[in-house]
Structure 1
Amino acid sequence: MKYFIALFVLLSVTMTTSAEDVRHQPLKDLDGYFPFSPPATIDQWEPRKEYVRRQILVATGLWPMPTKTPLNAVLHGKIEGDGYSVEKVYFESAPGFFVTGNLYRPTNIKGRVPGVMLAHGHRKDARLQQTPEPKLRGQIADGAERFEDAGRSTYQSLCRQLAKMGCVVWQWDMLGDSDSIQLSRELVHGFAKQRPEMNTTKDWGLFSPQAESHCQSVMGLQTLNAVRGLDFLLSLPEVDPQRVAVTGASGGGTQTMILAAIDDRIKLSFPVVMVSTAMQGGCTCENASLLRVNTGNVEFAALAAPMPQGMNTANDWTKEMATKGFPDLQQLYATYGKPDNVFLERGEHFPHNYNAVTRSAFYTFLNKHFKLGAKAPVIETDFDPLPAEQLTVWNAKHPAPKAADPDFERKLLNGITEDAQQQLTAAAATPEGLRDVIRPALEVLIGRTYANAGDVKWVLTEQQERDDHVKQFGTLVNNTYGERVNVVWITPKQWNGRVVIWLDEAGSGAVCREDGTLNGAVQKLVQAGVAVLGADLFQQGDQVVKQTRVVANPREFAGYTFGYNHALFAQRTHDVLSIVRFLRHTESGPCPSSELKSVAVAGWHQTGPIVAAAGGLAGDAIDRSAIDTQGFRFGKVLDYRDPMFLPGGAKYLDLPGMLALNAPRPLWLAGEGSHPAAVSTAYKLAPQADGLVTFTGDAEEQTASASEWLQK
């Protein structure tokens, strides 16, 4: 009777621990809470800073940076103003992909002068549009604007004032806005439904699962345009590379944060109405898969430290910034010894804006740190803004490219894909490239490494004695992340110190059948003295997941879900890393690490690619792997709700890139036919010539062959 009571208690514990897995909680979305925890020391901060910067670069498709082709910049239609000039500009950030905008320069430039990048938000035709009179008069009445003329154009007011202060200003169009017409505004900012004609394994379009699996997004293209815009600005001989600033509001504030975070050429940043622990940016152009998983806008702003950085609040999602987020940035800047380099302009009584009050705060901040010599505080003067027809880039002599052309969209993504593949193939041809380019990218795609896999404990729920082995059921509890993995452990009574983690889409049932007998291949391992561990990776076992969860947002954009949450593929990889971490760092459980001689992992069916990813991140913690890929490729997944969908999964040479990271550790490989080039190259460079074994026999012979190989 006592045995059955104890068994009931243990089974209850199993059910409880499984239900407590935090991954069953509601998904995070862009309206979540995104705090930043400042580090105690700079030494603690630097590794985190490097990782988040890399996360941004991977998420935006800039790891590695696309080849910088000639800009072929065209400047025309110069207009002389009062102490400044305005020119119309277009250049190619990628072949045939035009960036458009206006360049403002002071007249009579002497020596080198500061440069300013100005990004705009989501107002339609932002660079060309002017505020209607009724709205402007209300802004003047509220104190947001000062002049009936100058107040009509936020962007011209900014550019003109900065030029009169002695700065060269580049103000460019966001995609689908003003003169940027090659991708439509409806696509860039209003995408809602997947387009079947663009969801293909070749010649795909933006927002498709293919684009997502290659880290191609509107956010990424806009970030590329910002980087190339900085290239353009710094190509001007009069611009001082030590005094380059970036600013922008709303969506332009997002671009400001991101550019300052990833490009050290920026020396001062002033993101407006965007730095917040609350809403992170609602537009499709401000989101990308992987971008804000375990991070957010305040930490993005933190990446700019200790350079001078200002920001503001308004009666929007930034209204609590003074107490939530900004004090943490102040603490970080103080840790750097630069407390005066970060600044917050309070403006909760104003709506979402880049109004005259905030503009004055920016001018004054810039004036102070770039030593421009203007009288502080800097206040705008009145002027008559130029009409749209004088600012627009395209005319008869400079004809516009075709607007909203789906063939151009496909061609653009094709070109970016080909360039990335050339760079990554070259990287994978050397151990250094695998180490410095491919593996760091995989760390971001999966979002965890073996080193930070967590503190994992073993909870036993049931034990059964057999003639030659002990069968134990229980749960591995990852206390660091609040995750649970149910496992079955088959330990020979004459254990030889070796463990094989046997993984299958059927979960632990692939090791131990319902009648209690063992899988034939597992039985052979146990008879040879090898312990075998089977596991229900997240959402494996009794349940079959055909589609993964997505956030409540009705727009069919993967970035709204996977920009904030790990993909199921990544979560299952986390479980494998948890298991390996436990085996290598515990004295509890059936196989204490002090007696452990080797850890091998076998992955069958849909878990084969998961084992490949885990092996690429686990390093020497896994001694050998047996993987059946069944020819799987991320590049063939055409549904972003597919359990095997992984943002960025296809970009880094797809599954062969992950397999290559397993070198030089012994690898038994099935499902590939001949060796993929990346895998062959990686193992040819390995010290031992026989590290890669390829199986091409019948499916019935697979597990037996692998079982024999795993015993070595």
Structure 2
Amino acid sequence: MIGPPLSLFRSCLIALVAAAMAAGQPGGPALPAWNVLYGVKEFAQANSMFSSYLSRLRAEEDARSSKRIAGLSSPEAVRRYQSETRARLLAALGDPPPRTPLNARITGTLERDGYAVEKLIFESRPRYYVTANVYVPRKRSGPFPAVLAPVGHWGAGKSFEEYQRLGIFLARRGYLTLVYDVPGQGERRQYYDPVLGRALIDPGGSHWFVTLEHGYAGAQAILTGGNYASYLVWDGIRAIDYLSERPDVDRNRIACTGTSGGGLQTELLSAADERIKVSIPVCYGGCNPDNPARPGLTATDIDALIAPRPLLMIEATGDPRPGVAAKQERHREVQRVYEVAGQGEKTRFIIVDGPHGYVPGMYEAAHSWLSRWFGTEADNGPSPESAPAVEPAANLHATTSGEVAMSLGGETVPSLNRAHAAALAARRQPGDRLKEAIRAAIALADPRPDQPARSLDRIDRGAYTLEKIVYYSEPGIFVPAVLLAPRTPGKHAAAVFVNENGKAEPGLVAHCLEPLARAGYAVLSIDPRGMGETDPEAPRDSRPGDYKRLVHDAESNFFHDAIRVGRTVPGMRATDVLAGVGYLAGRPEVDAGRIAVIGHGMGGLLALFAAAFDDRIRAVAATGSLVSYGDIAASELYTHRFGAFGPGFLRTFDLPDVASLIAPRPLLLLNTVDARHRVMEPGAVEDAYRAAAAAFRGAGLAGRFVVAQADSPAGMTRRYEALLAAMPSGGARP
């Protein structure tokens, strides 16, 4: 992706296809010669390579968790294990904000048969409003045991019918129940647009839009060292604070239950806050951003933190059988923790006949479990089906408009992310160990190929030879590449090319790769893992057509799975680039002392990361690439895929810091884009990269740092030729 010239690249595609047809070439890809893996049996599953690799790492992490639990042999061992695990959970959730006044207020009350519904607003953070309904028993006297009910992924939030019925059912049996909107749902849509009458990033037609809000804002939060779960858990903790302040609540008898994503929140809240005395997750699970799993912190580890407090885990026959079976197995491990702690009777796993959700059969099971441990009446009384009709959503609104954004304004998850990123930037100091800190942050590993590179085909293209290559960067990871080697004698300066949309995007071939090869440069164009030929969703555009495809695509899965195993997508792909540099340096026709890396779009970021840690890279160009991670965090809307991000990057560095490590080697930033892929004026880019420019000036080579724009593919390629021609020789690094 190269900014404005990209449209020119695409315009060439029709002509290329027509030329291929005129030449009598068979149907299929417009440029079949540039495909490396198709037709080679052992690479038939290339598009699942990266996901399979990450799945193996996750399985290894789960196995380590199982081994830890299996090794517990005493209550003291359980306490040590929980102490270590809780520290990991709190670290994964990021820095908690200070406890500030809740400023709770009841905005209205509905009196109903046997219960009342109070409409509540409180502030979990200053001007960050939480809307809720409190179901209060009316035919019993307090103080009451209380139940906190975080809502799952239903756009209606607290007014979702199953949660209404839960609140009514429990309130009629003497439990004060607080059902609240989590951010992105109910009255708390974070991207609400008054013209559209819905969330701006909602494509419409489904209440599952909430997972878009969670994922979209969550990626920004991950850059600052937190995640969306940080916001969910803190809201729940402050809701417990509110319950504890109510005179009609017995603060020693607080429980938590929710279903689907609310079930996951129940697990997290129960693990994080021991004021929850009974935990009942139902059909538990959630979207990726709601899950703070990290190395040493699997779902089983989180559940094990609830021991020895009573834990009832409920599943439904309507959920997919493999998932239910996996949860049942997970509970067996949790059961062992309870048994070693001497409290085996305090946990159970049951399956209720019914669909995914909180449905009849589950209400009764939850109430029986609460009654057992809170010493209340066990009679379930009338079933939920005999309850009065539920309320229209408008009746339950705590705000006048039904939207916090319209009635109260205040903070949102994006605005809080913005403030957090700004605070981190103000505190961040590069320091003497910046290089090591960045390497650790991106989890960069040196290449460790387990087999030699292979040449699959060679094609005479006149001025150059096209060679199809597969090289390996670590066990389980192969990288398809094409080498354009000039046919003139002698050793040639060379470039590794990394293009976000694939190594052989038609315009890239015609306007970059071939002109450079004809000019006498060897060019190795590569597809790092999950890109190009190994992208499960290829062909793709670097800018998705809607927010759903941005939040729920393969890049998003790579991003979250990598975090769970202690890796980052940019770090792993940078390893692939480094392996490509090593391969290129070993070619007989290449001058190993004159190798550059050129990246387009996300590939430009990989070029920066690779060059920062490998002095064999003697020059760098990043075209159409993101200006900074800070710009992502500062923007309400952004269009860059999650594969460019990593956890806590902004705690340690930003992209200009990476660029400063490249000095004094030549660095070209061309058509740099902002968070929304808008090409920036060079002056604005230079302002963002002041620290990098200072590093070049300090080396006495200010002219080697160039920020520019190119308004045509030809102009862009001329810039590359100039960069390669001026590239200083450094010799092969030992």
**Aligned twin of 1:233:** 240
Q: Is the 8 A contact 2:151 2:262 kept in 1?
A: yes
> What is the deviation of 1:694?
1.7
Distance across 2 between alignment mates of 1:436 and 1:269: 45
Distance across 2 between alignment mates of 1:563 and 1:259: 29
2:132 to 79, 100, 113: 100
Distance across 1 between alignment mates of 2:273 and 2:620: 43
**Aligned twin of 2:576:** 578
Q: Is the 8 A contact 1:310 1:365 kept in 2?
A: yes
Relative to 1, partners in 2 of residues 1:478 and 1:425: Cα closer, same or farther, differing over 3 Å? same
Q: Is the 8 A contact 2:516 2:721 kept in 1?
A: no
Gaps of at least 5 residues in structure 1 are: 1-7, 58-62, 132-150, 195-204, 281-285, 444-448, 524-531
> What is the deviation of 1:703?
4.7
Distance across 1 between alignment mates of 2:534 and 2:557: 24
**Aligned twin of 1:154:** 166
Matches of residues 398-437 of structure 1 in structure 2 within 5 Å? 400-401=400-401, 403=403, 412=412, 415-430=415-430
**Aligned twin of 1:22:** 47
> What is the deviation of 1:312?
1.4
**Aligned twin of 2:179:** 171
Distance across 1 between alignment mates of 2:145 and 2:436: 35
Q: Deviations over 1:75-115 (max 9, x none)?
A: 47789999999754211346264422217599665xxx986
**Aligned twin of 2:231:** 224
**Aligned twin of 1:565:** 557
Distance across 2 between alignment mates of 1:311 and 1:294: 19
1:535 to 483, 505, 526: 526
Distance across 2 between alignment mates of 1:20 and 1:270: 42
**Aligned twin of 1:307:** 306
> What is the deviation of 1:422?
1.6
> What is the deviation of 1:38?
3.7
Relative to 1, partners in 2 of residues 1:649 and 1:411: Cα closer, same or farther, differing over 3 Å? farther
Matches of residues 668-687 of structure 1 in structure 2 within 5 Å? 668-671=666-669, 673=682, 680-681=690-691
1:345 to 342, 349, 361: 349
Distance across 1 between alignment mates of 2:88 and 2:491: 43
Do structure 1's residue 72 and structure 2's residue 103 form an aligned pair? Answer: yes
Q: Deviations over 1:493-546 (max 9, x none)?
A: 9999x99745457848989999999465847xxxxxxxx855344655999955
Gaps of at least 5 residues in structure 2 are: 1-32, 72-80, 206-210, 459-463, 563-567, 673-681, 710-715
Distance across 1 between alignment mates of 2:485 and 2:174: 72
- The amino acid of 2:526's aligned partner reads A
Distance across 1 between alignment mates of 2:489 and 2:275: 64
Please tell me the root mean square deviation across aligned C-alpha atoms, in Å.
7.0
Secondary structure at 1:158 match in 2: helix
1:657 to 654, 659, 676: 654
Secondary structure at 2:553 match in 1: helix
Do structure 1's residue 474 and structure 2's residue 469 form an aligned pair? Answer: yes
Distance across 1 between alignment mates of 2:212 and 2:408: 11
**Aligned twin of 1:90:** 121
> What is the deviation of 1:358?
3.6
Relative to 1, partners in 2 of residues 1:574 and 1:180: Cα closer, same or farther, differing over 3 Å? closer
Distance across 1 between alignment mates of 2:86 and 2:473: 25
- The amino acid of 1:249's aligned partner reads T
Relative to 1, partners in 2 of residues 1:302 and 1:636: Cα closer, same or farther, differing over 3 Å? closer
> What is the deviation of 1:579?
4.2
Secondary structure at 2:102 match in 1: coil
Q: Which moved more, 1:642-651 or 1:662-671?
A: 642-651
Q: Is the 8 A contact 1:313 1:348 kept in 2?
A: yes
The TM-score, its normalising length taken from structure 1, stands at: 0.60
Q: Is the 8 A contact 2:104 2:123 kept in 1?
A: yes
Q: Deviations over 1:469-501 (max 9, x none)?
A: 9997521146644543225397999999x9974
Q: Is the 8 A contact 2:233 2:269 kept in 1?
A: yes
Q: Is the 8 A contact 1:550 1:561 kept in 2?
A: no
Matches of residues 32-431 of structure 1 in structure 2 within 5 Å? 37-39=62-64, 40-42=66-68, 70-75=101-106, 88-93=119-124, 95=127, 97-102=129-134, 116-121=147-152, 153-159=165-171, 161=173, 163=175, 169-174=177-182, 187=198, 191-193=202-204, 214=220, 224=231, 226-234=233-241, 236=244, 245-257=255-267, 259=269, 263=272, 270=279, 272-275=281-284, 287=287, 299-300=298-299, 302-308=301-307, 309-317=311-319, 319=321, 323-331=325-333, 334=336, 337=340, 340=344, 343-352=347-356, 354=358, 357-359=361-363, 361-362=365-366, 372=374, 374=375, 378-380=378-380, 400-401=400-401, 403=403, 412=412, 415-430=415-430
Distance across 2 between alignment mates of 1:353 and 1:87: 24
Distance across 2 between alignment mates of 1:475 and 1:380: 65
**Aligned twin of 1:142:** none
Secondary structure at 1:41 match in 2: helix
Aligned sequence identity (%): 14
Q: Deviations over 1:544-600 (max 9, x none)?
A: 95537999xx9945333358633899978744423425878xxx99749xxx99997
Secondary structure at 1:101 match in 2: strand
Equivalenced residue count is 611
Distance across 1 between alignment mates of 2:472 and 2:238: 49
Q: Is the 8 A contact 1:314 1:349 kept in 2?
A: yes
Distance across 2 between alignment mates of 1:294 and 1:227: 17
> What is the deviation of 1:307?
1.9
Q: Is the 8 A contact 1:659 1:679 kept in 2?
A: yes
Distance across 1 between alignment mates of 2:399 and 2:314: 39
Matches of residues 573-652 of structure 1 in structure 2 within 5 Å? 574-580=572-578, 591=586, 602-606=597-601, 609-612=604-607, 614-615=609-610, 626-630=620-624, 632-633=626-627
Do structure 1's residue 484 and structure 2's residue 485 form an aligned pair? Answer: no
Which structure is higher in helix share? 2
Q: Is the 8 A contact 1:38 1:328 kept in 2?
A: no
Secondary structure at 1:565 match in 2: helix
> What is the deviation of 1:21?
1.2
> What is the deviation of 1:321?
5.4
Secondary structure at 1:566 match in 2: helix
Matches of residues 503-514 of structure 1 in structure 2 within 5 Å? 503=498, 507=503
Distance across 2 between alignment mates of 1:575 and 1:301: 30
**Aligned twin of 2:444:** 450
Q: Is the 8 A contact 2:495 2:597 kept in 1?
A: yes
Secondary structure at 1:346 match in 2: strand
Q: Deviations over 1:656-700 (max 9, x none)?
A: 9234246545464322646756654589799x8679952258964
Q: Is the 8 A contact 2:666 2:705 kept in 1?
A: yes
